[in-house]
Amino acid sequence: MILPHDFYRRHAPELAPALLGKFLCVRGADGQTRRARITETECYFGEGDTACHARAGKTPRTKPLYESGGIAYVYLCYGIHCLLNVVAGEADFPEAVLLRGVEGARGPGRLTRAMGVDLSDNGASFTEGGRLWVEDDGTRYRYTTAPRVGIDYASAEDRARLWRFIIGPARP
């Protein structure tokens, strides 16, 4: 089942673990669809989160973060890797979930390369039948939490938040 718009309207700390075990689906230019189970996520929550790109407010780059949940926020990291985020929550409060890994591609840069996601996907809807969507096959997973990574610029408090979610075994 393709996840509806309402699924994405929850806050990022709730959406991040809810995405674990779902399938990220990307339709390529050749019409073929790549599907991979999401294995790791990380959330960013508002202008008060010093690790969030929106910590400095709304800019042309961060504009998608201020939209209603269910769209993609794709940005270039280190001038090399495109990273894919799922915007969460209601409009005007910037929050998103970074997709850090899928089966067969651990790490957010490897994920986008494997799935064929690039900067042209920034702002794309996950719910309107376009190139990107997320499916749920009903399988539920346990997960562990850990501090977010690669955010040395953030405050000590924000670096310590357990906002990275890593899939565990399926629940019986």
Structure tokens at 80: 């090399």
On average, the pLDDT of the chain sits at: 93
The 3-state DSSP class for residue 9 equals helix
User: Residue 161 — φ and ψ, nearest 5°?
Assistant: -60, 140
pLDDT at 76: 83
The residue-averaged pLDDT of 142-153 equals 94
The residue-averaged pLDDT of 96-119 equals 96
Residue 57 exposure: Cα atoms within 13 Å on the Cβ side:
0
pLDDT in tens, 24-50: 999 998 889 999 999 999 999 999 999
Span 5-170 CATH architecture: Roll (3.10)
CA nearest neighbour of 108 among 135, 71, 81? 81
In the chain, where the domains are located: 5-170
Structure tokens at 14: 């709730």
Question: Could you give the CA distance from residue 148 to residue 154 in angstroms, rounded to a whole number?
Answer: 10
Look up residue 68 and give its DSSP letter.
Answer: P
pLDDT in tens, 62-83: 999 999 999 999 998 866 789 9
Question: Could you give the CA distance from residue 63 to residue 144 in angstroms, rounded to a whole number?
Answer: 31
CA nearest neighbour of 53 among 104, 5, 96? 96
- What is the model's pTM? 0.93
Higher pLDDT, 80 or 55: 55
**E strand map for the chain:** 23-27, 33-45, 72-77, 81-87, 95-102, 105-106, 132-135, 141-146, 164-170
